[in-house]
Chains A and B, each alone.
Chain A
Amino acid sequence: MNCQEFEHGLEDSPDSSLSPETGRECEEHAATCAKCAERLAWHRGLHHALLNAPRVGIPAELPVESGKSVIEAARRYRSARERMLVGALGIALLGLSAAFFFFGLAEIARDEATAFVSSTGEAVDHVETESGSILDSVWGSIASGIDTFCLMCAPSTDESASVYFALTLALVLLAAAAAAIYLGVRKVGGSRA
């Protein structure tokens, strides 16, 4: 072993714990080289001094202070996470109920649109019969456009509007009940803490 190889051996571990073979070779080299012997002595001395350094005394109040603040921080963190989850669920329920509500409105609009179109069609027929003028033809085109638009807007479904409104009401009640239970549980949990 030369001085360069000795340096690599010293990097491995100064007390030869990782590689006893390298440690033995390092010792053999150090016995023939004063500079490397000094370096080996330094690293071993430091190694043992570090391993046997006095332990740090922990301030007496620290575990209590840390315990309180950590538990409080953990509680706040969980509470914030719960609020976020409940909020997301609430938004989802309200969004769903709003969708059902608009389906209900659309159902009514479809019925009204059908009635409107039939009455407009009768009016157009009447005007065409009476005068047959160009102006009347324009009015007829507008009326049939409204007819098409109303039928496109209204969903073609057989469900009645009342079913949609009942679903809306049920979801809103469910959201309110969930919110009441959540607030009740939190209040009980808070009073226990």
Chain B
Amino acid sequence: MAQRYEDIPTSVILRAQVGEPAAVSELVLLLSERAFSLAYRMCGDPEEAKDICQEMLMHVVKNAARYDPARPFLPWFYRVASNVCLNWLVSPQHRARAKSLDQGSSQHPGFQPASMARGPATDAMARDMRDVVHQIVHLLPEEYRAVIVLHYFEGVPYPDLGEILGLPLGTVKVRLFRGRELLREKLEALGFDKP
């Protein structure tokens, strides 16, 4: 289920902005799940997602003073977090890791082919698109992956998506549509002939 898109209490943010350790801890605790979920959906590797998650949270805490408390916090958080994530995905560190994983196994660890390669006539659980679709999202190109993950998994509404990714609403809609199209192609390739 998509996370509820509820904002973080302003009092916590204001105290974290001045570096109060208890407030920073609370903020980290409140954001950890969102940050890890975003990182994992974007990279598909739980171990790498931990590193990305920490990097995201560090960026948020370091730059907390730049946040304007008069505006909602979550769009600001997701903007910082998605920038960190997208930068990470083009970094040599990520490429080297992805290359070594590719050499180690034919599939990415986040991608679980065993549950999906059974074909249309087998296990009814594996036939449930919900169980499969979230595991193949990280295989989408980054521009489509980001909008799909933020909108469907993190529950970010359309207008905030545009603000977070710096895109007009029309582009957001087109990317969501094309992302779904690419997912459909991948699902069809895995034997899902009908939704």
Residues of chain A at the chain B interface (Cβ within 8 Å): 10-14, 18, 41-47, 49-56, 58-59, 62-63, 65-67, 69-71, 73-75, 77-78, 193
In order of increasing CB-CB distance, the 4 nearest A-B pairs are A45-B195, A53-B134, A50-B152, A49-B129
In the complex, chain B residues whose CB is within 8 Å of the CB of A55:
1, 3, 37
The chain A residue sitting closest to B148, CB to CB, is A50
The answer to whether the Cβ of B163 comes within 8 Å of any Cβ in the partner chain is no
Give the distance to chain B from A35, nearest Cβ to Cβ, in Å. 14
B129 touches A78 (CB 8 A): no
CB pair A59–B36 under 8 Å, yes or no, is yes
Interface majority SS on B: helix, strand, loop or mixed?
Answer: helix
In the assembly, what is the distance between CA of A46 and CA of B58, in Å? 34
Does B134 contact A70, Cβ atoms closer than 8 Å?
A: no
Q: Bound state CA distance, A52 and B128, in angstroms?
A: 11
8 Å CB contact of A44 from B134, B152, B195: B195
How would residues 26 to 55 of chain B score, 1 for a CB under 8 Å from any chain A CB and 0 otherwise?
001100110111001100001000100110
Main secondary structure of the interface of A (DSSP, over half): helix
Bound complex: CA A186 to CA B93 (Å): 36
B67 close to A (CB within 8 Å): no
Q: When the two chains form their complex, are residues A51 and B152 in contact, meaning their CB atoms are under 8 A apart? A: yes
Q: Show 7 A/B contacts (Cβ-Cβ < 8 Å), sorted by A.
A: A11-B174, A47-B152, A47-B180, A53-B133, A62-B50, A67-B29, A70-B28
How many whole Å from B181's CB to the nearest CB in chain A? 8
Is B32 in contact with A52, judged by CB distance below 8 angstroms? no
User: What residues of chain A lie closer than 8 Å to B180, measured between beta carbons?
Assistant: 14, 42-43, 46-47, 50
| Chain B interfacial positions (CB closer than 8 Å to A) | 1-3, 19, 21, 24-25, 28-29, 32-33, 35-37, 40-41, 46, 50, 53-54, 57-58, 61-62, 129-131, 133-134, 137, 148, 152-153, 158, 173-174, 177, 180, 183-184, 187, 194-195
CB neighbours of B32 from chain A (8 A): 58, 62-63, 66-67
Contact status of A69 and B3, CB under 8 A, knowing A50-B148, A56-B37, A63-B29: no
Q: Which of the residues A11, A18, A50 comes within 8 Å of B158, measured between beta carbons?
A: A18
Given A13-B173, A45-B195, A73-B61, check contact A54 B54 (CB 8 Å).
Answer: no
Name the A residues within 8 Å of B153 (CB-CB).
50, 53, 56
Docked complex Cα distance between A137 and B37 (Å): 93
Chain A nearest CB from B17 CB (Å) reads 11
- Are the CB atoms of A70 and B61 closer together than 8 Å? yes
Given the known A-B contacts A11-B177, A51-B2, are A42 and B195 also in contact in the complex, defined by CB atoms under 8 Å?
yes
